[in-house]
């Protein structure tokens, strides 16, 4: 059985994961309209993954005797002025999500909810990967600079990583 504090915090994380999915979806739509097929493919895939993360939390809360709440979401506010700006926002968002997961772990440990602590370890590992991927993408964008040919190759690389199921940091 979940404590009220844990249930409330998990419900907030459900919203965070849903917002993450929306952010990736908004970025995917923008990239697709701009003709960046690889980046769009990557972002659509990431959006689906974030939704799966949300659903995993919903199921967990309900299975532990709680009630998962699906709340309304705000439209993502993103700056599309450059790829670097876009992916910097993405990286910063992933750092924020990691902090939110860490807060959940702290609540679980403080409340001696070891089942939830165990459940959350998957999210801790996942966030390490998410941050590393966003950072690797930013590093690649720094290497490219303003080179249009480099951006074209980068877009193609993103498509390959998305379709192969491999992470860009591999």
Give the Å distances, CA to CA, from 84 to 45, 72, 80, 92: 20, 29, 9, 12
**Whole-number pLDDT of residue 165:** 52
What predicted TM-score, i.e. pTM, was given to this entire model? 0.91
Q: Output DSSP code: residue 145.
A: T
131 is in an annotated binding site: no
Is residue 53 part of an annotated ligand binding site?
Answer: yes
Q: Residue 147 — pLDDT band, cuts 50, 70, 90?
A: confident
Q: Which CATH number fits domain 4-70+82-162: 1.10.10.60, 1.20.1260.10, 3.90.1640.10, 3.40.50.2000?
A: 1.20.1260.10
User: Is 37 labeled as ligand-binding?
Assistant: no
pLDDT band at 129 (very low <50, low <70, confident <90, very high): very high
50 assigned to a ligand binding site: yes
Task: For residue range 29-44, list pLDDT tens digits in order.
Answer: 999 999 999 999 999 9
For residue 166, pLDDT over 60 is answered with: no
Task: Determine whether the annotation assigns residue 127 to a binding site.
Answer: yes
Q: What is the model's pLDDT at position 17?
A: 98
Query: What does the pLDDT average to over 74-78?
Result: 94
- Per DSSP, 170 falls in state -
pLDDT exceeds cutoff 60 at 161: yes
Terminal-residue alpha carbon distance, the chain: 39
Question: Can you tell me the distance from the alpha carbon of 143 to that of 3, in angstroms, rounded to the nearest whole number?
Answer: 48
| Alpha-helical runs (H) found in the chain | 4-34, 37-63, 83-110, 114-144, 148-164
Which among 160, 164, 159 is positioned nearest to 38, based on CA atoms?
A: 159
Please provide the average confidence, as pLDDT, over all residues in the chain.
Answer: 92
Instruction: Check: CB of residue 2 under 8 Å from CB of residue 10.
Output: yes
């Amino acid at each position: 059985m979940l404590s009220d504090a844990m249930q409330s915090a998990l419900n907030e994380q459900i919203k965070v994961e849903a917002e993450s999915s929306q952010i990736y979806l908004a970025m995917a739509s923008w990239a697709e309209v701009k003709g960046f097929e690889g980046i769009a493919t990557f972002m659509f895939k990431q959006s689906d993954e974030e939704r799966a993360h949300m659903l995993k939390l919903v199921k967990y809360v309900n299975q532990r005797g709680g009630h998962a709440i699906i709340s309304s979401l705000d439209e993502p506010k993103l700056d599309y002025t450059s790829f670097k700006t876009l992916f910097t926002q993405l990286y910063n968002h992933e750092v924020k999500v990691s902090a939110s997961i860490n807060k959940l772990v702290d609540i679980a440990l403080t409340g001696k909810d070891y089942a939830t602590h165990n459940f959350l370890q998957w999210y801790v590992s996942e966030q390490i990967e998410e941050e590393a991927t966003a950072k690797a993408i930013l590093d690649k964008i720094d290497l490219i600079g303003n080179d249009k040919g480099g951006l074209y190759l980068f877009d193609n690389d993103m498509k390959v990583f998305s379709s192969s199921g491999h992470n860009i940091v591999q």
